[in-house]
Structure 1
Amino acid sequence: MIDDGSCTFPDNYPDNLFNCEQECIYSIDCCNNCDENESHNCTLDANQNCVYDLEVFLCGVSYPSNNQVEFKVCSNSNTSISGYQFSLDAMNFDIIEVMPGNDAIQAGMENFDSSNQSAVIFSYSGNSIPTSSYITLATFRGNYTDANGLVKIIPTHGQNGSIAFANSNAEELSFLITNAEWSEIPND
């Protein structure tokens, strides 16, 4: 069942994937991702270990000024990354700017999200970030009132919000998201 407007979803909720009870209407893979496109799902290997192309996680937090915070989002990837999109959510945190991470900048990538609430990052020239660990994908700057609670990597804003990553062949990648408590994120 697709949302017909009768459901009330929280902000940033991908209502095209869930019913009114906020249950996934498609399959959930071993990385706990709800997605209608099963071709890029995380899979189980022969030992029942979850296999994915990249892991996405919060790798740094800094406080550039009074009541302002920056969260850095990174990835460990066994393939090149040519584009991606996601957002961030935390209690008592309001995003004011989203910037490409250093590795994305070095690859000539830009953020094409006009709302300045999400990372929609790629390069028109087709550049990609090479395979590596601790790739800096994006920095989310915002105002905060309390440095506590869970910080989550979430779908981009809007009715058809999503989390997506693509390689240099424009193939969608499987991913594992690791969210963290504010206090567990390393200081930059």
Structure 2
Amino acid sequence: MSTRLLLATRNPGKLAELRRLLESAVPGVEVVGLRDVPAYPEAPETGATFAENALLKAREAVRYTDLPAVADDSGLTVDALNGMPGVLSARWSGRHGDDDANTALLLGQIADVPDERRGAAFVCAAALVTPDGTERVLEAQWRGRLIREKRGSNGFGYDPVFVPEGLDVTSAELAPEEKDARSHRGQAFAALVPVLAEVLRGR
């Protein structure tokens, strides 16, 4: 019998990414998203950190669905902006999920920052919460730098302006499998996979 695992997201790009990571690594688990379960009221992301927001979303998903749930919170921290946009990454321009507006505002804010000081990191906190009260959070970051104009059509969010350390292409120019292997979300979920396997096998 397969176990259903809820990924608490409506973002189709993120769901596809997390499905690729989890379905091959944890056999017999059916990964579903928020569109696959009855709707419930989603609380605003009020946490001050990525870990707090990830836990908030995963706990809420368990409470309403009684399924083991994984949630992540991720965003971009920019050195020249003292770590912002951080947990505000998805709504930096004031409109949640408007990738073009968020990226344009960010690039405008650091337009005068020289190339050698345009360091940044994508950060992801991934939380697993189960109906019996198990809670785990793992965090990872992906260092790189910001370029001045968008390149690439894969990925979403700030991917087209982020060049990971050691590469000369943006994360939006990487193939999905390569991005999964390198990215902040890929690292956080790779670390979570053995925890998921252990916890879900015991159900």
Q: TM-score, normalised by structure 1?
A: 0.29
Structure with greater contact order relative to length (CA < 8 Å, sep ≥ 6): 1
Q: TM-score, normalised by structure 2?
A: 0.27
Task: Identify the structure with the greater strand proportion.
Answer: 1
